[in-house]
Amino acid sequence: MKLTMSRSLSQRDKTILLLLGVVVVLLLVYLIGVRPALNQLSNLAEERSSLEQTLASLGQVHARQQQTEERGKSVLSRVPIGAHEANALELLNQIAEQDHVTLVSVAYGNGTSGAPSVGTSGGSTSSSTSGSSNASQGGGGLSSLQYNVVVTGTTANLESFFADLATAPRLMTVQLQSVSGTASGDTANFTLAVYYRNG
């Protein structure tokens, strides 16, 4: 005799099975779809942060390059094409007058000499040699007019004079030879190089 047992599921059992099925489906959806998407979003956020840092770094490099270019343009604007000796001497005289310094003598460097041309303007006396300029070749394709200059004035005026030479519209360098004090003020002897570009 064969016994068959049939068991019908109660409503409570059906509800439990349905809930388990829903949980399994939700778990599969999370594991297959949601979790990889969240991982990808996290990776994208890290990549974005890295790209923003790279972009900021590139921006700083670009800003430094622009500053370097501007400084280069500023220097080049102070170095004219051609010696323009009259302009250099006029500029020297203007700075001396502005700072209340007296130009005692201005002569070509390296011992060259010629007939001196003396001019007085506003209490500053300028004495320079006439004739061809004494240009010496500098580094980077620049040439310079070399002058031996003697000036007198108070200490404060001489300091202001040298500071203004450093920021003059033309690129100049000063090599101080000697400074001596007298009752009427200080006397400075220096070599001045005024730079220019060749055609």
**From first to last of its 199 residues, what are the pLDDT tens digits of the chain?**
454 444 677 888 888 888 888 888 888 888 888 888 888 888 888 888 888 888 888 888 888 888 877 776 666 777 888 888 888 899 999 999 999 999 999 998 763 333 233 333 333 444 443 333 444 444 457 888 999 999 999 989 999 999 999 888 888 899 999 988 877 789 999 999 998 888 6
pLDDT at 72: 66
Both structure tokens of 123: 């209490």
Length of the chain: 199
Both structure tokens of 50: 């890295």
Both structure tokens of 149: 């200059």
Q: How far is CA 91 from the centre of its chain?
A: 26
Its pTM stands at 0.52
DSSP H or E segment with residue 165: helix 155-166
Nearest partner of 196 among 95, 77, 28, judged by Cα: 77
pLDDT at 45: 86
pLDDT at 140: 52
| Whole-number Cα distances in Å, 117 to 38, 62, 67, 191 | 86, 51, 43, 19
pLDDT at 115: 29
pLDDT at 138: 44
pLDDT at 127: 40
Strands 172-182 and 185-197: antiparallel
